[in-house]
A = this chain, B = another copy of it.
Amino acid sequence: MTGELKQLIGRINEEIDSLQLGDKPKELYEPIDYIMRLGGKRLRPLMALLAYRLFKPDWESILRPALAIEVFHNFTLMHDDIMDHAPLRRGQQTVHEKWNDNIAILSGDVMFVKAYDLLLECQPEYFRELIQKFNQCAREVCEGQQFDMNFESRQDVTETEYLEMIRLKTAVLLGFSLEMGAILAGADQKTCEAIRDFGVNIGIGFQLKDDLLDVYADQDKFGKQVGGDIIANKKTFLLIEALEKAEGSLQNELNHWLGKTEFDKTQKVEAVTAIYDQLGIQTITENRMNEYFDKGFQALDRIPVAEEQKEELRAFAQALINREK
């Protein structure tokens, strides 16, 4: 990462540290401080700043509204972790584990309010557009989470349904992050749409990359256990493709591993990976992922600013695409 990007992230983190969230009752506000300080790459506010910098240099002027996205993102994590019964977040206890479900519900609600407070720190001429777009995005993120939960108990999820779910759950917020930067820089509607398209398509590609890495990452470089999704029967793009494509004995074998409640983890990961390999799932997924990345970069091409102005955002996206963990 360039020194310039590090500087932006440094300022984002400083501003997060200085957020005045509230005081009493402490049960409500401590969990918010806790989750906001668990770290994370701060990609979303960073994307808002980078998008703004395509058009205007004074990115500090939108730092506070950009934080709304990070606060909102962490709010969704706090509520999702309750729903998913997740014990850990960024290697630390989740809020509902460290405190309890009720506190995680209510602290999350207060974070959501804070996101709107921060959005209101933008120039008044952009209030309506920004908040309307944010609302649309927030609603879609909730829809994505509900679809994801619905899929857990379904064996017949289609590729189309899965792609729509990850678009809603993950990609639209990346799209909104970029669009916010463009809106606040006064970009016209077509440009705002193009940069959002860039974000949404890159976002879907990122999620497919996540699904791929979980099976095909180099364990030495990967932060988590390779094969975690296979062990948990998680409905990733790879599994959905395999369920659609497998026939005969391969189908039986896949269903056998999905139905097994007791198994050797390494053995299951190897067996399911072998099924994926026989079905060519890696290539299918890579092709689909690259389609989204290409579509994203085509949208970036449509943005009417000089190519060298786009270099920073392009390099940033490329670095995320090339990541191995």
Interface residues of A (CB under 8 A from B): 22, 24-25, 27-28, 79, 82-83, 101-103, 105-106, 108-110, 112-113, 116-117, 120, 124, 127-128, 131-132, 135, 138-139, 142-143, 145-147, 149-150
| A124 to B, closest residue via Cβ | B128
CB distance B25 to A147 under 8 Å? yes
Q: Which residues of B contact A150 (CB under 8 A)?
A: 25, 27
Q: Quote the shortest CB–CB distance from A236 to chain B (angstroms).
A: 20
Contacts A28-B146, A106-B146; A113 near B139 (Cβ below 8 A): yes
Contacts A127-B124, A132-B117, A143-B24; A112 near B112 (Cβ below 8 A): yes
Sample of 15 A–B contacts (CB below 8 Å): A22-B139, A25-B147, A27-B146, A79-B105, A79-B109, A101-B101, A109-B138, A110-B142, A113-B139, A113-B142, A116-B116, A116-B135, A124-B127, A124-B128, A127-B127
Q: Which residues of B contact A139 (CB under 8 A)?
A: 22, 110, 113
Q: Quote the shortest CB–CB distance from A189 to chain B (angstroms).
A: 18
CB distance A83 to B112 under 8 Å? no
Please, how many angstroms separate the alpha-carbon atoms of A131 and B68 in the complex?
A: 15
Please, how many angstroms separate the alpha-carbon atoms of A83 and B105 in the complex?
A: 8
| A119 to B, closest residue via Cβ | B131
Please, how many angstroms separate the alpha-carbon atoms of A82 and B82 in the complex?
A: 13
Q: Which residues of B contact A138 (CB under 8 A)?
A: 109, 113
Contacts A106-B83, A110-B139, A142-B110; A128 near B120 (Cβ below 8 A): yes
Please, how many angstroms separate the alpha-carbon atoms of A150 and B143 in the complex?
A: 32
Q: Quote the shortest CB–CB distance from A257 to chain B (angstroms).
A: 27
Please, how many angstroms separate the alpha-carbon atoms of A24 and B168 in the complex?
A: 12
CB distance A142 to B106 under 8 Å? yes
